[in-house]
C-alpha cells in the first residue's frame, strides 16, 4: 500500500469518526436521555468502544503518512463520544448536556 492509499484510508476513517460523533450529537440534541438509554443494538457505549478502535487504527496510519495531528483530532472526538455514552448509561442529563454543548461547538473538520 502506497502513501496516497494510506492517506485516503486515513481520511475515510476520520470522516467516519466525525460522522458517527455528529450522529450521536444530533440524537442527543433531539431525544430525551431515557430514549437514548433504551437504544440497545448497538448501545452508545458499544459505539464509543468501536470509535476508539477506529481511532487507534487512524493513529497508526497517521504515523505512516506523517499526519499525527489527524490522529489526535480523531481521539478528541472519540473522547466526546465516550463521555456522552457514559452520561447516557448513567442517566446523567447534566453531563450529557455539557458534552453536547461542547461537541456542538466543534468544527467537525
The structure's pTM equals: 0.90
Q: Residue 67 is part of which domain span?
A: 3-104
Report if residue 109 sits inside a domain: no
Q: Are 61 and 13 in contact (CB under 8 A)?
A: yes
Q: Residue 31 domain-assigned?
A: yes
Q: Is residue 8 part of a domain?
A: yes
Please count the structural domains in the chain. Answer: 1
CA-to-CA separations, 84 to 46, 50, 108, in angstroms, rounded: 12, 14, 17
| Averages of pLDDT over each 10 residues, the chain, 109 residues | 91 96 96 91 94 96 90 96 96 97 92
Within a domain: residue 17? Answer: yes
24 lies in some domain: yes
Is residue 18 one of the residues assigned to a domain? yes
pLDDT of residue 1: 83
Amino acid at each position: 500500500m502506497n502513501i496516497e492509499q494510506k492517506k485516503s484510508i486515513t481520511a475515510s476513517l476520520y470522516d467516519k469518526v466525525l460522522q458517527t460523533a455528529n450522529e450521536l450529537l444530533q440524537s442527543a440534541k433531539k431525544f430525551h436521555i431515557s430514549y437514548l438509554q433504551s437504544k440497545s443494538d448497538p448501545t452508545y457505549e458499544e459505539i464509543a468502544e468501536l470509535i476508539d478502535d477506529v481511532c487507534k487504527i487512524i493513529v497508526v496510519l497517521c504515523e505512516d503518512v506523517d499526519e499525527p495531528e489527524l490522529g489526535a483530532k480523531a481521539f478528541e472526538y472519540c473522547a466526546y463520544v465516550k463521555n456522552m455514552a457514559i452520561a447516557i448509561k448513567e442517566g446523567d442529563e447534566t453531563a450529557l448536556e455539557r458534552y453536547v454543548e461542547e461537541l456542538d461547538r466543534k468544527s467537525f473538520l
